[in-house]
Amino acid sequence: MRKRFICLVGVLLVGLSLSTLGEGTDAGSFARDGIGARALAMGGTFVATADDASAGFWNPAGIGYLEGYHVGGMCVVGGRFGISDIKFQDLSLLAKPVQTGSLSSLGVGITWINHTVSGIPYTGDDGGGTFDADQSLFLASVSWLLEIAENWTASLGGNVKYYRETILYGVGSGLGFDLGLLFKGALDDIPVSVGIVSTDTLETTVRWRGTAHNPDNYVPWIVRVGATALLLDSKLMLALDIDFSPAAPHSDLPRYSNLDRLHLGVEVLPVSQLALRGGFIVWRDGTRRLSAGLGINPWEGLTIDYAYLKGSAGGLEGDTHILSAEFGILSPRE
């Protein structure tokens, strides 16, 4: 079963990334589900939260609400989908370095996301063997926090993103951008937040070199809208996100309707140092995925999170276990 799955992954990577049949229209899928054990345990409902080290990916506008410096990372325990040859990880540094003055509203960040598949069987002109596929995404984020009304604030954010992928002799790279908004306030004394982010706006082109056809692949343009509400003195958070692909500029399809998803998430804080989480995702075709997890704060500034992602309904994907850690340091006030 393991060899069969690795073969399947290899075929998909070669087919989509090297595009031996022509241009590809689903590049960058390795990062589409997101990063961070907290967000993934809640079913990816993080567009309107975006308040930890994974904020640069989910909604760069969230960095505007952070304080100080946040260093975090994620790794998959036992391999993605339960396959040790499939590794998925990230590292990030987010900063709100100035607490007072004209630059106190500025937030910045950098994020690296990496996906590696090793030991993919291959038969070529020089005989059989295996090869590795390496995919990385680099994000540079910036945000600015604004006061817009009594008890309401807004943050504007954006990413410049760079994709780099290597498979066999081919190297693909592409430059794109994200735009995000995040509003926070209260409705009838209930804290709420609403976020929207446009990812890979107008599609990101990944150009390949060193392949048979040197094709262009395209990362789909996806708009994510989310909302959260804090109840029971902020001990209960309910979250909802919707993914929608507005257009497919480089495809014969009007849009990628197969990428539409509904996300539901919940987080409960039974005690101050423990969080329990659950999530649910449903695709337009009816495919569903459940997730769960927990987080602990053993001491101030340190957070450790765990997420469990159940395999797909089709049974081809195994379960995934994710660990994240984040360390935050408040910057001194002037």
Higher-pLDDT residue of 243, 314: 243
CATH number of the domain bearing residue 169: 2.40.160.60
pLDDT of residue 314 exceeding 70: no
Closest by CA to 143, choosing from 176, 108, 177, is: 108
Whether the predicted model's global pTM rises above the 0.85 cut? yes
pLDDT of amino acid 211:
83
Q: What pLDDT score does 126 carry?
A: 63
Range of the domain at 153: 2-329
Q: For the chain, what is the domain count?
A: 1
Evaluate whether 43 touches 264 at the Cβ level (below 8 Å): yes
The SS3 assignment for 161 reads: strand
CA-based R_g, the chain, Å: 20
**Residue 107 structure tokens:** 């937030």
**Structural contact between residues 162 and 137, judged by C-beta atoms closer than 8 angstroms:** yes
Q: For residue 4, how many other CB atoms are within 10 A of its CB?
A: 9
Asked, for residue 66, whether it belongs to a domain, the answer is yes
- Mean pLDDT (the chain) is 89
In a domain, 58, yes or no: yes
Quick one: DSSP state of residue 18? I
What is the structure's pLDDT at 312? 65
Q: Under 8 Å CB-to-CB from 178, ≥6 apart: which residues?
A: 60, 139, 158, 159, 161, 197, 198, 199, 200, 201
What type of residue is 64? Answer: G
Q: What is the mean pLDDT of residues 38-49?
A: 98
Residue 300 covered by a domain: yes
Confirm whether 150 is domain-assigned: yes
Segment 106-135 mean pLDDT: 86
Report pLDDT for 165.
95
Tell me what the mean pLDDT of segment 105-111 comes to.
96
The pLDDT of residue 11: 44
Q: Please report whether residue 334 resides in a domain.
A: no
Higher pLDDT residue, 122 or 95?
95
Question: How confident is the model at residue 334, as a pLDDT?
Answer: 43
DSSP symbol at 25: S
Cα separation of 301 and 299, whole Å?
6
Over residues 56-68, the pLDDT tens digits come to 999 999 999 998 9
Please check whether residue 35 lies inside any domain of the structure: yes
pLDDT at 16 > cutoff 50: no
Percent share of the chain, pLDDT over 90: 68
Average pLDDT over residues 31-37: 95
Q: How far is Cα 148 from Cα 100, in angstroms, rounded to an integer?
A: 19
Which pLDDT score is estimated for 311? 82
Structure tokens at 278: 């659950």
- Domain annotation covers residue 103: yes
Collapsing DSSP states into helix, strand and coil, what is residue 15? Answer: helix
Residues whose CB falls within 8 Å of the CB of residue 321, separated by 6 or more in sequence, listed in order: 76, 77, 78, 306, 307, 308, 309
Residue 23 in any domain: the answer is yes
